[in-house]
């Protein structure tokens, strides 16, 4: 296989593996966005009725429930990758991935505390509590590393036979043991490597502050580029809360940090908004979150295979809602980040351009969740504060252009490069036959007939499933029944591949997979 084919095959499989956790994000994003918006101080100042304790409790629940999913994405990715890349004993792999993730962070925590570089009582930028462990925030990058380490070690050692004295650890019991050792090594490496990366990003903050419009472009692009690595906090937090974000005397009081300055400007009857403050409060996010990414989602829907459009439509509507209304963009971004990295690079550049444009047009409307997210901030900090120089009127004008730009750029690149975005992949097919829209319990007869059609239990090497296909590897393909037989068994079609068959059963495929594996005694 050529280098390019290996590259695309790797990311296509990674995209497939991560599709399940990605599909969790839209509902989590909606809950988080609504909760964050209606518990923010700026919204409560305008709508005091929302301060009702019961109403606030509901919104706080929304916020914490949605937030817990996003804050634990690294470990969710670690488990998903481990499950997706191991050949057998997936439950053991999931357990090993979770344990290894904890061990990696505990290793980093112990080393950094011992070196005096981490104080559990006073965590600094780039440090956070990970599953209760004070550690470096390495984001989903750390989760992905652990997932691959565990998958590699699992596939290599899950059937190992140890000497009699150590035989109690033979087989799958050895997987957590070797995975723990591997995660200690990863933790040691990251303990010494990651702080250098973080130091470099701190220096970048000074460059951003001193270069005006160009620095604003860098701010927006780098913030998105570093999102997968959990390092994006290094871009915006210093500007939010330190003098890097500015210093101003408002109402006779000196305030520092972009958030503090903007809040003081809101409270002052005379102070005007300042683009050198709002550029660090994610004003560019209003363009790419509320308009650009929905345009990208619309493009991915349009280029999906016809039979997949219905399910892709549901996925992207659910993902676009939190992006447009609350600025929670991860549900859309993660849908193409790993499957088509070139699209994410384009998106990062377009994000930087959004910040650049808001700087040039002097748009003083924060897009961060601290101000309710893009939609509510446009209303309460834009429309209702036009006398302070919000210049919100440019948002819908440039926004429509941004929607179209994302749509045509994404659509063009997907078609030209044949990118396997959701609904276009073969292995990730989202085909759905309407008559199979309700998953029914698989009867013993149909399962036995499927096994017979596959050439009997002895002919089956492995059984797996994607969204709609029962994927089976067999010893001898000549023993597999013809297409007419499969039609009689309710299949919508059969795809014959090099080492077996993919039988299209709609959304019954996963149920049939489990039933077949149970029937033939396969773990």
Confidence of residue 432 (pLDDT cuts 50, 70, 90): very low
Tell me the CATH number at 452. 3.30.1360.60
**Same domain membership, residue 325 and residue 443:** no
**Same domain membership, residue 339 and residue 264:** yes
Is residue 51 over pLDDT 60?
yes
Average pLDDT, the chain: 83
The pTM is what? 0.62
**Same domain membership, residue 171 and residue 72:** yes
**Same domain membership, residue 398 and residue 309:** yes
Nearest-angstrom CA–CA distance, 471 and 495? 9
Establish if 79 belongs to a structural domain. Answer: yes
Q: Which residues are marked as active site?
A: 466
Q: What is the mean pLDDT of residues 73-98?
A: 89
Confidence of residue 512 (pLDDT cuts 50, 70, 90): confident
Is residue 198 over pLDDT 80?
no
Q: Which of 179, 206, 233 is the last residue of a domain?
A: 206
460 vs 491, more confident: 460
Confidence of residue 26 (pLDDT cuts 50, 70, 90): low
**Same domain membership, residue 333 and residue 252:** yes
Q: Which of 8-22, 131-145, 313-327, 380-394 is predicted with the least confidence, judged by mean pLDDT? A: 8-22
CA distance readout (Å), 493 to 101, 229, 248, 504, 518: 41, 41, 68, 5, 24
Establish if 428 belongs to a structural domain. Answer: no
**Same domain membership, residue 382 and residue 261:** yes
Q: Which residues contact 185 (CB under 8 A, 6 or more apart)?
A: none
Q: Which residue has the tokens 């059609």?
A: 453
CA-CA-CA-CA torsion sign (483, 489, 493, 497): negative
Percent of the chain scored above 90 by pLDDT?
Answer: 30
Domain that holds residue 509: 434-520
Establish if 42 belongs to a structural domain. Answer: yes
Confidence of residue 87 (pLDDT cuts 50, 70, 90): confident
Confidence of residue 29 (pLDDT cuts 50, 70, 90): low
Nearest-angstrom CA–CA distance, 227 and 330? 9
Tell me, what's the pLDDT at 374? 87
Establish if 257 belongs to a structural domain. Answer: yes
Establish if 389 belongs to a structural domain. Answer: yes
Residues paired with residue 493 on neighbouring β-strands, in sequence order? 504
Enter the DSSP assignment of 304: S
H or E element at residue 474: strand 469-474
Q: What is the mean pLDDT of residues 187-211?
A: 84
CA distance readout (Å), 339 to 23, 115, 294: 14, 39, 18
Tell me, what's the pLDDT at 134? 94
**Same domain membership, residue 449 and residue 404:** no
Q: Which residues contact 259 (CB under 8 A, 6 or more apart)?
A: 240, 241, 245, 281, 370
Q: What is the mean pLDDT of residues 336-344?
A: 88
Q: Which of 160, 177, 206 is the last residue of a domain?
A: 206
Tell me, what's the pLDDT at 19? 65
- Residue 461 dihedral angles phi and psi, to the nearest 5°: -95, -40
**Same domain membership, residue 320 and residue 244:** yes
Nearest-angstrom CA–CA distance, 356 and 342? 21
Q: What is the mean pLDDT of residues 29-46?
A: 74
Is residue 429 over pLDDT 80?
no
Is residue 10 over pLDDT 80?
no
pLDDT tens by residue, 289-318: 999 999 999 999 999 988 888 888 888 888
**Same domain membership, residue 99 and residue 30:** yes
Establish if 212 belongs to a structural domain. Answer: no
Tell me, what's the pLDDT at 390? 93
Q: Which of 206, 240, 263 is the last residue of a domain?
A: 206
Tell me, what's the pLDDT at 298? 96
Q: What is the mean pLDDT of residues 202-227?
A: 86
pLDDT tens by residue, 110-156: 999 999 999 998 888 778 889 999 998 887 788 889 999 999 999 88
8 Å CB contact between 486 and 453: yes
**Same domain membership, residue 480 and residue 399:** no
Confidence of residue 22 (pLDDT cuts 50, 70, 90): low
Is residue 5 over pLDDT 60?
no
Q: What is the mean pLDDT of residues 476-488?
A: 86
Establish if 211 belongs to a structural domain. Answer: no
pLDDT tens by residue, 372-387: 778 888 988 888 888 8
CA-CA-CA-CA torsion sign (222, 226, 231, 236): positive
Report the number of distinct structural domains present in the chain: 3
pLDDT tens by residue, 435-477: 433 334 446 678 888 999 999 889 898 888 765 678 888 898 8
Residue ranges of alpha helices (H) inside 131-173 are 139-157
Tell me, what's the pLDDT at 420? 86
**Same domain membership, residue 455 and residue 342:** no
**Same domain membership, residue 150 and residue 38:** yes
Nearest-angstrom CA–CA distance, 456 and 458? 5
pLDDT tens by residue, 156-194: 888 778 787 777 777 778 889 999 999 999 999 999 998
Establish if 38 belongs to a structural domain. Answer: yes
Tell me, what's the pLDDT at 423? 86
Q: What is the mean pLDDT of residues 251-265?
A: 81
Is residue 108 over pLDDT 80?
yes
In whole angstroms, what separates CA 341 from the centre of its chain? 13
H or E element at residue 215: helix 212-225
Which among 363, 309, 357, 338 is positioned nearest to 420, based on CA atoms? 338
Q: What is the mean pLDDT of residues 45-72?
A: 84
């Amino acid at each position: 296989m050529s280098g390019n084919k290996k590259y695309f095959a790797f990311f296509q499989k990674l995209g497939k593996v991560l599709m399940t956790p990605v599909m969790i994000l839209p509902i989590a994003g909606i809950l988080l966005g609504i909760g964050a918006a209606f518990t923010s101080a700026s919204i409560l100042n305008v709508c005091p009725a929302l301060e009702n304790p019961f109403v606030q409790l509901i919104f706080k629940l929304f916020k914490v429930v949605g937030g817990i999913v996003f804050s634990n994405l690294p470990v969710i990715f670690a488990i998903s990758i481990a499950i997706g890349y191991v050949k057998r004993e997936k439950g053991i792999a999931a357990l090993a991935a979770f344990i290894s993730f904890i061990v990696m962070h505990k290793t980093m925590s112990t080393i950094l505390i011992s070196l005096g570089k981490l104080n559990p009582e006073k965590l600094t930028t780039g440090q956070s509590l990970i599953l209760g462990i004070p550690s470096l925030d390495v984001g989903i990058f750390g989760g992905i590393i652990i997932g691959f380490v565990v998958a590699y070690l699992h596939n290599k050692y899950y059937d190992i036979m140890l000497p009699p004295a150590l035989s109690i650890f033979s087989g799958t019991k050895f997987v957590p043991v070797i995975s723990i050792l591997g995660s200690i090594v990863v933790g040691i490496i990251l303990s010494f490597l990651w702080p250098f990366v973080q130091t470099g990003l701190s220096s970048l903050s000074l460059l951003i502050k001193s270069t005006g419009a160009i620095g604003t472009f860098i701010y927006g692009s780098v913030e998105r580029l570093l999102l997968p690595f959990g390092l994006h906090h290094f871009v915006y937090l210093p500007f939010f809360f330190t003098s890097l974000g500015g210093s101003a005397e408002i109402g006779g009081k000196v305030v520092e940090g972009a958030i503090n300055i903007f809040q003081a400007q809101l409270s002052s009857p005379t102070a005007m908004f300042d683009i050198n403050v709002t550029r660090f409060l994610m004003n560019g996010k209003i363009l790419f979150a509320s308009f650009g990414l929905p345009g990208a989602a619309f493009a991915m829907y349009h280029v999906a295979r016809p039979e997949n459009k219905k399910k892709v439509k549901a996925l992207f509507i659910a993902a676009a809602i939190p992006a447009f209304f609350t600025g929670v963009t991860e549900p859309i971004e993660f849908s193409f980040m790993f499957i088509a990295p070139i699209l994410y690079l384009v998106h990062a550049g377009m994000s930087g351009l959004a910040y650049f444009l808001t700087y040039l047009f002097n748009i003083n409307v924060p897009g961060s969740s601290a101000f309710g997210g893009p939609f509510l901030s446009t209303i309460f900090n834009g429309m209702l504060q036009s006398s302070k120089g919000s210049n919100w009127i440019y948002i819908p004008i440039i926004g429509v252009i941004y929607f179209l730009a994302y749509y045509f750029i994404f659509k063009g690149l997907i078609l030209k490069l044949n990118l396997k975005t959701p609904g276009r992949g073969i292995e990730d097919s989202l085909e759905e036959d309407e008559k199979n829209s309700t998953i029914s319990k698989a009867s013993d007869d149909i399962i036995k007939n499927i096994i017979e059609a596959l050439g009997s239990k002895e002919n089956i090497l492995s059984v797996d499933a994607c969204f709609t296909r029962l994927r089976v590897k067999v010893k001898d393909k000549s023993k597999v029944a013809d297409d007419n037989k499969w039609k009689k068994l309710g299949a919508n079609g059969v795809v014959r591949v090099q080492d077996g068959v993919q039988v299209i059963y709609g959304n019954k495929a996963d149920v049939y997979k489990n039933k077949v594996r149970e029937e033939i005694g396969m773990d």
